[in-house]
Structure 1
Amino acid sequence: LFMNTCLVIRLLAWVLGCSLVRRHFHLMLSGLVLFGPLLSFWVSRYSIFANGNHYLYRKFLRSTWGWTCILTGSFVALLTFSARRSVSLTLRHLSRIGLAGLLWWGCRRLLTLLEDAAGACYEPLAPAQDAHSAPAPGQPLLLLHENQSKASCLKANMMWRGYEVSQETLVLCLCCLLLVEELSVFGCHLAQERRLHRSPSSPLGVLFLLCVVLLVIWLVLLLCLLAYFPAWPSQQLGGALGYLGWRGLYQGWYRLTPSQGSPGLPGEALFTEKQQDEMITRET
């Protein structure tokens, strides 16, 4: 069983570290967000995943960033410390997760403010109140409540109408892209340990597997949201913002030098110069 687990870990590390996955994963994710809602024409409305109170949604979707931060942060910290035994370098690499979390917090606050400014709260009229009115066919008659935020409106069991950006799609896309970036260097770590005739850390291997499982869960949840709860174009806007956030961090800021305030890319200063050159070649 132990040997089989090691083989699975090495295979997953190779898959996530190969240039095809690293360079084109964001394209696959973009295609999923764009065309995933088309699956709503084939999925069953009686499926357990069509229930918004499903265990997966309650347990994972509402704490997506928390799960990602805990597992990915633990993996990055243990990987960095195992490779170099440097606390300062470990904290530097961990700061990537903190900066991504800060970006997510800022996006969530900004989107909440925009939704409150662009939307309005409505309350359905009781049947006795609209007895003398003539509402349009198929259109419920609503009372407008001004100066209400979206959170307070929904908490009062009223209806919110306005322009929205799917925060669930945003954070799922951002976390998937972040996980692929951070896990992609594990193959280099295994190669370095094998060259030094050292056995890879068992806790690190377990954390790697847990992060891969988490990546699969996020992809499944994203597919379920797009197929069972399609919301065009708010989900596509959320996916685009998640992509732009990843692009700005991992393809922009993190490629700068430490003197420019950058924490560096995953795996930077952890492996030999030859491995670093191979990683850079794969990325370009």
Structure 2
Amino acid sequence: MFLNTFLVVVTNLAAGLLGNSSFRRHFHLLLSGLVTFGPALSLWVSQYSVFAKKSHFLYRVFLRSGWGWTCIFVGSFVFVLSFSVRRSLLLSLRHLSRLAVAGGLWLGFRKLFGLLENATGSCYERLSAPPEGQLANGVGHPLLLLREGESKAACLNSGMLWRGYEISEDTFLLCLCCLLLAEETAVFGPYLTLGGPSGGPLRLLFLFCVLLLALWLFLLLCLLSYFPQFPTQLLGGALGCLSWRALYQGWYRLRPCWYCPGRPGMGILTTQGKKDGENSGTHERAFN
């Protein structure tokens, strides 16, 4: 009984925050400020911290599979929420298609980032020791010998060094996932206000989504603080925010049809006990 009460209180507070119009309107600005000024924290953080190692548990388990974790929790929440209200598999699949679009966008950008780095990069071989002249001058850094005609994959497999113009995939993915989570979970607050059924499983899935959003923000802050890479992280964050704006602030605002899944909450946010055509449009416009 206590755990259920605790779950209801916590999810109500989180739903109120994520569903707040001011939060939804300014969250992307908060994220942009974090990506822009976050690297300045590297002046104060300790490089001996456990988060300064890329082998840390959170990086290995969550960051490398970030899109998979997002799909599992957000997809489960969206499906349970939409299906519990309308009992329509078609409606649930339409809402889940937003994740498919974002997944295709993520795969496309990963391919584009790889092509850009391959096109602008070069392979270098580390020399075992610097020349004698450099040792006499007190320069102890090994030289890099350019190896032409090597691809990135072949270069790295040979134990050599690849240097090219890159855009941070991790920053792009974390920004996109944070904005997607904020958009998809924001519907839960108005949904509760309208008296929608909210059992323990649905509230638990929503809580998992909120915790995942907090984890992505924390990992983004860690990457910016302990592994600052300017301007690659700034470009990755900018592309993540632009992708969110093109989808949720552009395409998804169109009327739902075969080529557009619509905004989160379309067809779900209706007053309980009334016909769909009476008040659904009013509530959905107010939310959007």
TM-score, normalised via structure 2 length:
0.91
In structure 1, what is the equivalent of residue 282 of structure 2? 277
SS at match of 1:239: helix
Which structure has more relative contact order (CA 8 Å, sep 6+)? It is 1
Q: Which residue among 123, 145, 169 is the counterpart of 1:167? A: 169
Consecutive unaligned residues in structure 1, runs of 5 or more: none
Q: Which residue among 189, 210, 213 is the counterpart of 1:187? A: 189
| Residues 1:202 and 2:200 are matched in the alignment | yes
In structure 2, what is the equivalent of residue 121 of structure 1? 123
Q: Whole-Å Cα distance in 2 between the matches of residues 27 and 143 of structure 1?
A: 44
Alignment of 1:144-159 (within 5 A): 144-159=146-161
Instruction: Report the CA distance shift for 1:260/1:89 in structure 2 as closer, same or farther (over 3 A).
Output: closer
Instruction: Report the CA distance shift for 1:201/1:276 in structure 2 as closer, same or farther (over 3 A).
Output: farther
2:106 partner letter: W
Instruction: Report the CA distance shift for 1:2/1:10 in structure 2 as closer, same or farther (over 3 A).
Output: same
Instruction: Report the CA distance shift for 1:138/1:275 in structure 2 as closer, same or farther (over 3 A).
Output: farther
Q: Any conservation in 2 of the 1:188–1:275 contact (CA below 8 Å)? A: no
| Residues 1:16 and 2:21 are matched in the alignment | no
| Residues 1:220 and 2:224 are matched in the alignment | no
Instruction: Report the CA distance shift for 1:148/1:71 in structure 2 as closer, same or farther (over 3 A).
Output: farther
Q: Whole-Å Cα distance in 2 between the matches of residues 255 and 44 of structure 1?
A: 44
Q: Whole-Å Cα distance in 1 between the matches of residues 16 and 225 of structure 2?
A: 30
Post-superposition Cα deviations, 1:26-52, rounded to whole Å, max 9, x if no partner, equal 000000000000000000011111111
Post-superposition Cα deviations, 1:65-114, rounded to whole Å, max 9, x if no partner, equal 01001111111111110111101111100000000000000000011001
Q: Any conservation in 1 of the 2:18–2:186 contact (CA below 8 Å)? A: yes
Q: Which residue among 109, 112, 117 is the counterpart of 1:110? A: 112
1:61 partner letter: L
Q: Any conservation in 2 of the 1:124–1:142 contact (CA below 8 Å)? A: yes
Alignment of 1:235-246 (within 5 A): 235-246=233-244
SS at match of 2:195: helix
SS at match of 1:160: strand
SS at match of 2:54: coil
Q: Any conservation in 1 of the 2:121–2:164 contact (CA below 8 Å)? A: yes
Q: Any conservation in 2 of the 1:75–1:208 contact (CA below 8 Å)? A: yes
| Residues 1:265 and 2:270 are matched in the alignment | no
SS at match of 1:193: coil
SS at match of 2:230: coil
Q: Which residue among 49, 64, 72 is the counterpart of 1:70? A: 72
Q: Whole-Å Cα distance in 2 between the matches of residues 174 and 11 of structure 1?
A: 24
In structure 2, what is the equivalent of residue 33 of structure 1? 35
Q: Which residue among 167, 178, 181 is the counterpart of 2:180? A: 178
Q: Whole-Å Cα distance in 1 between the matches of residues 38 and 279 of structure 2?
A: 40
In structure 1, what is the equivalent of residue 230 of structure 2? 232
2:217 partner letter: L
| Residues 1:101 and 2:103 are matched in the alignment | yes
1:263 partner letter: P
2:97 partner letter: S
Q: Whole-Å Cα distance in 1 between the matches of residues 105 and 83 of structure 2?
A: 25
Q: Whole-Å Cα distance in 2 between the matches of residues 139 and 152 of structure 1?
A: 25
Out of 157-166 and 52-61, give the one that drifted further.
157-166
Please report how far the alpha carbon of residue 134 of structure 1 lies from its aligned counterpart in structure 2 after TM superposition: 4.1
2:74 partner letter: T
Consecutive unaligned residues in structure 2, runs of 5 or more: 271-277
Please report how far the alpha carbon of residue 21 of structure 1 lies from its aligned counterpart in structure 2 after TM superposition: 0.9
Q: Whole-Å Cα distance in 2 between the matches of residues 149 and 21 of structure 1?
A: 45
Q: Whole-Å Cα distance in 1 between the matches of residues 97 and 65 of structure 2?
A: 20
Percent of pairs identical after alignment?
Answer: 57
